[in-house]
Amino acid sequence: MVEEDIEQLRQDLSVALDADDSVEVSKILARVGVAETALLLDSLPSQQRDSIWPLIDPAVLGAVLLETQDDVSDAKLRQLEPEQIAAIVETLPDVDDQADIILALPTDKLVKTLHTLDAHKREMLNAVLSYSEDTAGGLMNIDQVSIRADVTLDVVLRYPRIRGALPEHTDLLFVTDRHDHYLGALYLRDLLTNDPEDEVKAIMRTDIRAMHAHMSDTEVAREFENFDLVSAAVVDEEHKLIGRITIDDVVDVIRDEGDHSIMGMAGLSEEEDMFSPVLKTSRRRGIWLGINLLTAFLAAYVIGFFEEILDQVVALAILITIVPSMGGIAGSQTLTIAIRGLALGQLGSSNYRSLIKKEISVGLLNGLIWALVVATLSIIWFKNFNIGAIIAFALVVNLLAGALAGAVIPVVLRQLGVDPAIAGGVVLTTVTDVVGIIAFLGLATLVLG
């Protein structure tokens, strides 16, 4: 649906909810799909969500929970009893989706829900739950089709007819030996276009590598992107086939990574609910406001060293915000490039120095250009050549510092085990504020003091 259609749905839904017309709400929900229902829930205040949940078809409730933001689905799951959650899990056809619901539960409710499920379902879920949710094993679905290398294509062609259906997003069949060790894959197009008397080993692809169960979900997404995969095998430590990952799961990973990068720049979680309770939102954001306040006090403390020169030259107080802000912008641009490079695997020890050299060159060039502009305007404004020269020098220094810091900070934070997308902006702001103030007011003290 286009944005205008979604907005019209929201308006229609709000009118029906205000009128307490549950019949009309049910009609609106019935004519939209799972994705649109989830989007509506994400974009409505919590009171209206509470009115909508009971009207959603139980058969699609699990799929809707998977599509909504984590904060929204977690809040709903906390309200449900283990028996109700188990019923929702049963409506989901894929084990990896079932595991996503289970993993979102508190420990006590998770255990109770698992005990509510039948033994076979528990066994299937345990195969996925034994791996971290941000790994290939956590993403995989154990419903895959495997074949032997020494059978003919005619034998393979009979199998789908006997089975009755193939799992969704099946573009290839996995080839294993008698002990389930992964050997390669057979594309369905090759199965259909070759002589039925040919053996699988004659046309199978051995260059399609499997994903190790402990591979991170980010690496999995990168493999899918680099090799244009629709599905891929997952193997354990003994290289035995234990499941498969499909493109729909990878799209979710890519979306989550994008959300994380965008929200992280503001110090927020990608799970943030737009209409979460005020106290909860305030607590989350307050942590980063407190951190930012500490850095602001640090900058103010540095300014305090130059109180005497500021009292003497009013122009410095007027211009003091220009240098830190310009350095902050230049640094944030480099920071974004570096974080993106790390996330995509494009930045490493082999090319790290090249990035630093390039960004320093850009910082120097932009610094010289904008230093000339700012110096000219400052001289015209205050009729003082020294002030123009001081701010020009400080601007060049801080743009260089911002470029260097923007390239170095993400790598250092990652080595320290800190997420650069969340903490990088705060550290960078501190660096550019302090360096900019010292460069500007320090030189002013030497020249004008």
User: Where does residue 357 rank: exposed (0-12), middle (13-18), buried (19+ CB within 10 A)?
Assistant: exposed
Q: 278-448 has which fold? A: Tetracycline Repressor; domain 2 (1.10.357)
Q: Give the N- to C-terminal CA distance of the chain in Å, as an integer.
A: 65
Kind of pairing between the strands at 211-212 and 146-148? unpaired
Name residue, tokens 């390239």.
Answer: 407
The domain 146-262: what is its CATH number?
A: 3.10.580.10
From first to last of the 449 residues of the chain, give the pLDDT tens digit: 566 777 888 888 888 888 888 899 888 888 888 988 988 888 888 888 888 999 999 899 999 999 888 888 888 998 899 999 999 998 988 888 888 899 888 888 888 898 888 888 888 888 888 888 889 999 998 888 899 999 999 999 988 888 778 888 889 999 999 999 999 999 999 999 999 999 999 999 999 989 999 999 989 998 998 888 999 999 999 999 999 999 988 988 887 776 666 655 555 555 556 666 767 767 766 676 677 778 778 888 888 888 888 877 888 888 888 999 999 999 999 998 888 888 767 788 888 889 999 999 999 999 999 999 999 999 999 898 999 999 999 999 999 999 999 999 999 998 888 888 778 888 999 999 999 999 999 999 988 86
pLDDT of residue 163: 78
pLDDT of residue 119: 83
The answer to whether 391 touches 375, Cβ cutoff 8 Å, is yes
- Give the span between the Cα atoms of 47 and 327, in whole angstroms: 44
Sign (positive/negative) of CA torsion 222, 228, 234, 236?
negative
Q: Concatenate the DSSP letters of all residues of 335-368 into one string.
A: HHHHHHHHHTT---TTTHHHHHHHHHHHHHHHHH
- The alpha carbon of residue 261 and the mean position of all alpha carbons in its chain are separated, in whole angstroms, by 6
Distances from the Cα of 150 to the Cα of 145, 178, 199, 240, angstroms: 16, 10, 6, 18
Sign (positive/negative) of CA torsion 222, 226, 229, 233?
negative
- Give the span between the Cα atoms of 354 and 181, in whole angstroms: 42
Number of CB atoms found within 10 A of residue 345's CB: 11
Three-class SS state of 72: helix
pLDDT of residue 249: 87
pLDDT of residue 1: 57
- DSSP letter for 416, please: T
- The alpha carbon of residue 417 and the mean position of all alpha carbons in its chain are separated, in whole angstroms, by 17
- Give the span between the Cα atoms of 48 and 16, in whole angstroms: 10
Name which of 38, 58, 41 is nearest 50 in CA terms: 41
Name which of 159, 233, 169, 241 is nearest 196 in CA terms: 159
Name which of 272, 296, 294 is nearest 283 in CA terms: 272
The pTM of this model reads 0.65
- Give the span between the Cα atoms of 210 and 231, in whole angstroms: 10
- Give the span between the Cα atoms of 172 and 233, in whole angstroms: 10
Domain boundaries, the chain: 3-129, 146-262, 278-448
Percent helix, percent strand, percent coil in the chain, to nearest 5: 70, 10, 25
Q: 3-129 has which fold? A: MgtE N-terminal fold (1.25.60)
pLDDT of residue 212: 96
Amino acid at 255: R
